[in-house]
Amino acid sequence: MFQAILIEKSETGQMARLTEVDEKDLPEGDVTVRVGWSTLNYKDALAITGKGPVVRRFPMIPGIDLAGVVEASDNPDWKPGDKVVLNGWGVGETHWGGLAKKARLRGDWLVPLEPAFTTRQAMAIGTAGYTAMLCVMALERHGVSPGEGPVLVTGAAGGVGSVAVALLSKLGHEVVAVTGREEETDYLKRLGASDVLPRSEFTEPGRPLAKERWAGAVDVAGGQVLANVCASMRYRGTVAACGLAAGMSFPATVAPFILRGVTLVGIDSVMCPQPERREAWRRLAVDLDTALLEGLCQTVELAECIPAADRLLAGQVRGRVVVPLEGGE
């Protein structure tokens, strides 16, 4: 038996609780992992609270991230004792996830833990940081380089945004952060932002083409925010879009794309192919200042994840939430 957050569904709705789970009930998979650390992400909070249609199968253990040690393996790529990381692949949605002391998974979902990181540091990065790195790599592929102009990061005080600011700053970019929390200005400047703008500048409908400002952008918001970001990109600028915190809609025109040659790149971290996934983690080990990780995250015990989910959705959580499980380093 081991502890886990379990989401169950009844006629009155779904409910999450901390409970004991029998190892024999773990789903099919060829690798069993003793989970050292997990995280509480925005998607996990939606799953736990039932405020978003994240869970596709019940009962479900949430947790789209985990880092730990292989306990048993029928997969030739992994052996007991290997340190591994998992992000995405529908875990916590259709397959039991990381907010539990054990997980049984498919070996081809796993990546090796980079030697530069402890399991706790890997989860301080988590899906949010790995997604931020995918965004940075996309900007680089499309020619956005330091010195060409400022790079905008929306939702900068959140998990993806915080890591994106830190990465871009360390790589030499001038980073402008956008947040709805003015009190986080000092935090964002410590991460490397040269300027911090209020989210309100981007939330109202704007002109199809605005003043050219940004050479690149990382957007976690979507909606009107993304439309305004695209409208204010410089000629041949690139926007990496990876979130929908401000909505699923995209109330824009084609003007930025056909008159300024702007590129809008979609970033999906869930089903990202293994080669790019491993390259993102390799780059994180090189390009992310691990000294910043403590300031990026807070620790929440497994038993506290359910109330913490409400705080996260209310925008009351800065950066990343890490969850200790089985004594991971």
**Number of independent structural domains in the chain:** 2
Residues 261 and 140 occupy one common structural domain:
yes
Element (H, E) at 215: strand 214-219
Contact in structure between 157 and 181 (CB atoms under 8 Å): yes
Residues 253 and 216 occupy one common structural domain:
yes
What pLDDT shows up at residue 52? 87
Over residues 40-50, the mean pLDDT reads: 94
Residues 146 and 258 occupy one common structural domain:
yes
Question: Is there a domain that residue 179 lies in?
Answer: yes
Question: Is there a domain that residue 288 lies in?
Answer: no
The CATH code of the domain that includes 6 is 3.90.180.10
Pick the last residue of a domain from 249, 266, 283: 266
What pLDDT shows up at residue 326? 78
- 243-255 exposure pattern, b = at least 16 Cβ within 10 A, e = fewer: bbbbeeeeebeee
User: Based on the number of CB atoms within 10 Å of its own CB, is 274 exposed (0-12), middle (13-18) or buried (19 or more)?
Assistant: exposed
Over residues 29-57, the mean pLDDT reads: 95
Residues 247 and 133 occupy one common structural domain:
yes
Residues 29 and 83 occupy one common structural domain:
yes
Rounded to whole angstroms, the Cα distance separating 141 from 162 reads 21
Residues 316 and 201 occupy one common structural domain:
no
Which DSSP letter does residue 8 get?
A: E
Question: Is there a domain that residue 183 lies in?
Answer: yes
Pick the last residue of a domain from 266, 281, 303: 266
pLDDT band, residue 317 (cuts 50/70/90): confident
**Residues 6+ away with beta carbon under 8 Å from 278:** 111, 112
Residues 151 and 242 occupy one common structural domain:
yes
Residues 136 and 247 occupy one common structural domain:
yes
Question: Is there a domain that residue 136 lies in?
Answer: yes
In the chain, what percentage of residues exceed pLDDT 90? 89
Q: Which of 121-130, 167-176, 235-244, 320-329 has the lowest mean pLDDT?
A: 320-329
Contact in structure between 93 and 64 (CB atoms under 8 Å): yes
Of residues 131, 19, 116, 16, the one with CA closest to residue 65: 131
Range of the domain at 213: 127-266
pTM: 0.93
Question: Is there a domain that residue 133 lies in?
Answer: yes
Question: Is there a domain that residue 119 lies in?
Answer: no
Over residues 134-153, the mean pLDDT reads: 97
Residues 142 and 81 occupy one common structural domain:
no
What pLDDT shows up at residue 328? 54
Question: Is there a domain that residue 58 lies in?
Answer: yes
Residues 34 and 157 occupy one common structural domain:
no
Residues 226 and 249 occupy one common structural domain:
yes
Question: pLDDT tens digit string along 66-122?
Answer: 999 999 999 999 999 999 999 999 999 999 999 999 999 999 999 999 999 999 999
The alpha carbons of the chain give a radius of gyration, in whole angstroms, of 20
Question: Is there a domain that residue 281 lies in?
Answer: no
In the chain, what percentage of residues exceed pLDDT 70? 99
Rounded to whole angstroms, the Cα distance separating 308 from 295 reads 18
Residues 64 and 37 occupy one common structural domain:
yes
